[in-house]
Chain A
Amino acid sequence: DTEVTQTPKHLVMGMTNKKSLKCEQHMGHRAMYWYKQKAKKPPELMFVYSYEKLSINESVPSRFSPECPNSSLLNLHLHALQPEDSALYLCASSQGQASSGANVLTFGAGSRLTVL
């Protein structure tokens, strides 16, 4: 299995809702990432987990809450989002230490989030 699977593919939520995005990989990768991408723009790093520990939080607002229950799963919990948070949320994984910066990232297809 060489894929990163993200669910749901599409999500529409109101500003008062609580929802979660899920990401799963079975490649034995020990680093997992959340990125946010606006249309036709480069992805922006949000969080990095390395060996199931949060290693990077790029000053993301607390309405986004990541969770790494085990080495194969990564969640992004969403609460009280704003319309400007509407974007494609990409999960990625890589072998080895995320801190090297030399890792090849394997991306999922993304979850397209719309906040009304």
Chain B
Amino acid sequence: AQSVAQPEDQVNVAEGNPLTVKCTYSVSGNPYLFWYVQYPNRGLQFLLKYITGDNLVKGSYGFEAEFNKSQTSFHLKKPSALVSDSALYFCAVRAHNLYGNNRLAFGKGNQVVVIP
């Protein structure tokens, strides 16, 4: 089955420090990978995606992610975290349901807490 794993439940980081949110994937074939963020009482917002091309993907709000095929990872990074980055972050991969339809399979989510 095609899936992503987000190994940590919560990531705590001091404001101004680098932020990394980890994601590993398990797919057959070429992965389509996504990161979404959810602020409190809001829907999910798209940050970035990797389909093909450059392994370093730049996205919204200063976030970037690096696709690493050998490590099957797609970690989300930000050089300097802000308090406003505190949110729930979801990694997702294109997957198939039982009938072969494409859909997004989300990871369990990581709560990021940026400490002032």
Residues of chain B contacted by A43 (CB below 8 angstroms): 44, 90, 106
Decide if A105 touches B44 in the complex (CB within 8 Å): yes
Residues of chain B contacted by A102 (CB below 8 angstroms): 32, 49, 51, 94
Decide if A109 touches B49 in the complex (CB within 8 Å): no
Decide if A105 touches B109 in the complex (CB within 8 Å): no
| Of A40, A99, A101, A104, the contact of B111 (CB 8 Å cutoff) | A40
A7 to B46, CA, bound (A): 21
Whether a CB of chain A sits under 8 angstroms from the CB of B82 is: no
Size band of the A side of the interface? 20 to 34
| Of A41, A42, A98, A109, the contact of B43 (CB 8 Å cutoff) | A109
Decide if A58 touches B106 in the complex (CB within 8 Å): no
Whether a CB of chain B sits under 8 angstroms from the CB of A66 is: no
Given contacts A42-B90, A42-B107, A101-B32, contact A90 B44 (CB under 8 A): yes
Whether a CB of chain A sits under 8 angstroms from the CB of B80 is: no
A106 to B111, CA, bound (A): 21
Interface positions, chain A 14-69, Cβ under 8 Å from B, are 40-43, 45, 48, 55-56, 58
Interface mask (B78-94 → A, CB under 8 Å = 1, otherwise 0): 00000000001010001
Residues of chain B contacted by A101 (CB below 8 angstroms): 32, 94-95, 102-104
For the complex with contacts A104-B46, A107-B45, 8 further pairs of A-B residues with Cβ separation under 8 Å are A41-B108, A42-B109, A92-B44, A99-B101, A99-B102, A101-B102, A102-B32, A107-B44
Q: What are the 8 tightest A-B residue pairs by CB atom distance, in nearest-first order? A: A101-B102, A107-B43, A42-B106, A101-B94, A107-B44, A104-B46, A109-B43, A56-B101
Footprint of B on A, CB under 8 Å? Answer: 4, 40-43, 45, 48, 55-56, 58, 90, 92, 98-102, 104-110
